[in-house]
Amino acid sequence: MTKIKLYSSKQIIFILLLILLLNYAVLSSKAQTEFYLNKITSIGGSGVGYDVDIDCNYAYITGNDGYIVVDIQNPTKPKIISDFEINGGAFGIFVKDDIAYVAAAGQGLFITDVSDPANPTLLGHENGGGISNNVYVSGDYAYISNYENGLQIFDVTDLTNPTKIGEYSLDGRADGVVVRDNFAYVANPNSRVNVLNVTIPSAPQKVSTLSATDGATGISAFENLLFVGCYSSNVLVFDISTPSNPILLGLHTDDDEGEAQGVVGNSTHLYVADNYGVEYLNISSLPTITKIAEQRQGVSAAHDIDFKDNFLYIAGGSVTGSLVFEVSKSQKSNYLGIYIGVPLTVIVLSVTFLLLYKYKIKKKET
């Protein structure tokens, strides 16, 4: 015969609570240590994107036909609300005080009024020659990095009549430019990052080049930090508290053969568009730079990146167009697995334990 031993309800409740506690501990630990870059959506109709700049609730993205304005008040449902056509397309854009300054490929600098984002209008234009690549505005001057002519400086005091007043030729093309306290930092793939004194805009003077920035292409700044992305996929952080003498704070080397064309961040984190995908880096403990998350799936030629809150906006290639990603502690593809799969697992395990412990069968000789 057999004898059935019935376990007490207290023992059963204890086992269930233990299972739930273990599952919660695992999920909580994972949530605290892991981040994900979840693709939220693509910006339909955006086509190839070269540069992206976020201003308030709008993303401005350049492309082969000029630039588009995207309403991002709801990041999960971005909507193109207008476009500004430029023959030959545009590469760079900088938006400040309701004015969009555009580096218009072979046509120089365009200045447009975007006080009504749904209806951008032309204010002024000046062709400085060469191929305009990127643009940065500081004070009354617009600084354009040029594929052929190095750095060009425009006086934009009169927005309707921008005037080229200065130029500094570099060895090879200039990809990106940032200005801080009368010093321009120009990313040049052939000759690193060049530091130019632009105190006299009509006569810029070279001060130095930054070491370890070979293949420099992407560049941006946050407060006293300068971020540099290179074709070697290296990402560097410099202290520019003394603008004429930047100090290297940290270097991140990646072996994924990407090209860090777009870099943007703050005092603790850095986001990188490395052509093949998007990376999320922790720079809070310099000189150590740690990769927190990376996403390559669904990304085609990530040319540039900007962010607002926990959302990233990527100017991408022709296959995927421009994209929106979210920085999250949950992996989007596994949402169902987390919210359905885990409870289901708990139930299955609970039933299993009940069967094993509630009815313990012992054979007894009769």
Residues 15-66: tens digit of each pLDDT? 656 655 555 444 444 444 478 888 888 887 767 899 999 999 999 999 999 9
Q: Token pair 């990304």 is at which residue?
A: 299
94 and 201 in one domain?
yes
Q: What mean pLDDT do residues 287-297 have?
A: 91
CB atoms within 10 A of CB 255: 6
12 and 158 in one domain?
no
Name 243's Cβ contacts closer than 8 Å, sequence gap at least 6: 180, 181, 182, 183, 195
Question: How many separate domains does the chain show?
Answer: 2
Least confident of 27-31, 183-187, 262-266: 27-31
Cα 276 from chain centroid? 13
Residue 24 DSSP one-character state: H
**pLDDT, position 297:** 81
268 and 215 in one domain?
yes
Note whether 227 and 263 are within 8 A (CB). yes
180: left (phi over 0), alpha (psi -120 to 50) or beta: beta
Least confident of 73-87, 139-153, 270-284, 330-344: 330-344
Q: Token pair 């359905």 is at which residue?
A: 340
Residues 126-158: tens digit of each pLDDT? 998 999 999 999 999 999 999 988 999 999 999
Residues 74-126: tens digit of each pLDDT? 999 999 999 999 999 999 999 999 999 999 988 999 999 999 999 999 999 99
- Domain region containing 341: 2-29+337-363
22 and 144 in one domain?
no
246 and 198 in one domain?
yes
- The CATH number of the domain holding residue 174 is 2.130.10.10
Q: Token pair 């409740």 is at which residue?
A: 13
